[in-house]
Amino acid sequence: MEYTKQIAADQTVKYLFFTSDKSRIEAVFIPQKRTQVICLSSQVGCALKCSFCATGALGFKRNLTHEEIILQYDLIVQDQGLKELPNIVFMGMGEPLLNMQEVSKAITYFHKKGLAKKKMTLSTVGILHAFEAASKTGVNLALSLHAPTDDLRRKLIPLAQQSTIDELFQACSVFSFRKHKPLMIEYVLIKGVNDQEEHMDQLIHVLRKHPFPYVINFIPYNPHAFAHFLRSERAQFCKEYLLRAGFKTFLREPRGEDISAACGMLVGTSQLHILS
Ligand code: SF4
């Protein structure tokens, strides 16, 4: 698979891969102080059309094969000359739980190659029918919640019409992903939409109703050409509010923003040029 790459000011590297059918997919290498992370794509585009996500605006073309998923990782490891295998997050283009068969094969390959399952994370907006298959992989789960009520969540994530937040947490408990490991909650902070005190109170209420060990990841929204939202200026407030309520909470530092490599910005460079 051929590729080009862009390097951000913070040393994040975005790879644009060209598949044999001329599809374009992106993966991101994120160097960190202690660990290295590769964010992989699982589909070409995405059918779910979350209103804040650039990939969703592209629509869906097809699932990636496990070979294409594996190649993204192997080519980045080779290009970066890495001696230690980097962690994997399936948070790139696509919803990995809608391509479980191929994603599972890729996870098996990475595990055989020597990457521990605790170093891999599947991120999902909540594909209930695939939770069982996802749990069988033995890797971590990150639940993209993004809103504390069903009404607001349905405005941001059309798929949320199909299930309630309560049903999602129920499924997480039935298929407890990695026993005794906290459930990661992803929450993109959008100005005036889901970042107010009332939203944080509602979020705390939801989390207390379903008593898991949690890690809350607040992600500052990354503005792009495909949506009209703005980044919240209340990220620190939200983090401290949840911390005070007793939840382990992190604020994800935006990485690779200047090359559109941050969360929710992946579209494939050439598509971006056509559409902008
Ligand atoms: S956030 Fe994830 S599931 Fe939603 S449209 Fe973007 S890639 Fe698809």
DSSP structure class, residue 128 = G
Mutate to test the pocket of ligand 1, among 58, 62, 125, 263 (most ligand atoms within 8 A of CB): 125
For residue 94, report the distance from its CA to the centre of ligand 1, in Å: 6
Which tokens sit at 81? Answer: 């000359």
- Atom 4 (ligand 1): residue with closest C-alpha? 50
Which residue minimizes the CA distance to atom 5 of ligand 1?
A: 56
Report, as residue numbers or ranges, the catalytic residues. 26, 263
Residue 253, pLDDT score:
82
Give dist(CA 268, CA 57) in Å, integer: 12
Which residue has the least CA distance to atom 3 on ligand 1?
A: 95
Tens digit of pLDDT at every position of the chain (276 positions): 999 999 999 999 999 999 999 999 999 999 988 899 999 999 999 999 999 998 888 899 999 999 999 999 999 999 999 999 999 999 999 999 999 999 999 999 999 999 999 999 999 999 999 999 999 999 999 999 999 999 999 999 999 999 999 999 999 887 765 566 789 999 999 999 999 999 999 999 999 999 888 999 999 998 887 778 999 999 999 999 999 999 999 998 877 777 776 666 776 654 433 222
Give all domains of the chain, ordered by start, each with its CATH number.
Answer: 2-264 (3.20.20.70)
- Token pair 């907006």 is found at 125
Q: What are phi and psi of 237, to 5 degrees?
A: -60, -50
3-state helix vs strand vs coil in the chain, percent to 5: 40, 25, 40
Q: What does the pLDDT read at residue 180?
A: 63
What CA–CA distance (Å, rounded) separates 25 from 92? 9
Dist CA 25 CA 267 (whole Å): 8
- CA–centroid distance, 46 to ligand 1, in Å, is 6
**Helix spans in the chain (H):** 54-58, 66-80, 100-113, 131-136, 150-156, 165-174, 197-209, 235-244, 269-275
43, 55, 90, 265: which to mutate for ligand 1, most atoms within 8 A of CB?
A: 55
Give the integer Cα–Cα distance in Å for 164 and 238: 23
Residues enclosing ligand 1, CB less than 6 A?
46, 48-50, 53, 55-56, 93-95, 125
Q: How far is the CA of 34 from the centre of ligand 1 (A)?
A: 28
Residue whose Cα lies nearest atom 7 of ligand 1: it is 94
CA distances 82 to 17, 73, 135, 212, 225, Å, are: 19, 11, 29, 35, 34
CA of 122 to the centre of ligand 1 (A): 13
Atom number of ligand 1 nearest to Cα 56: 5
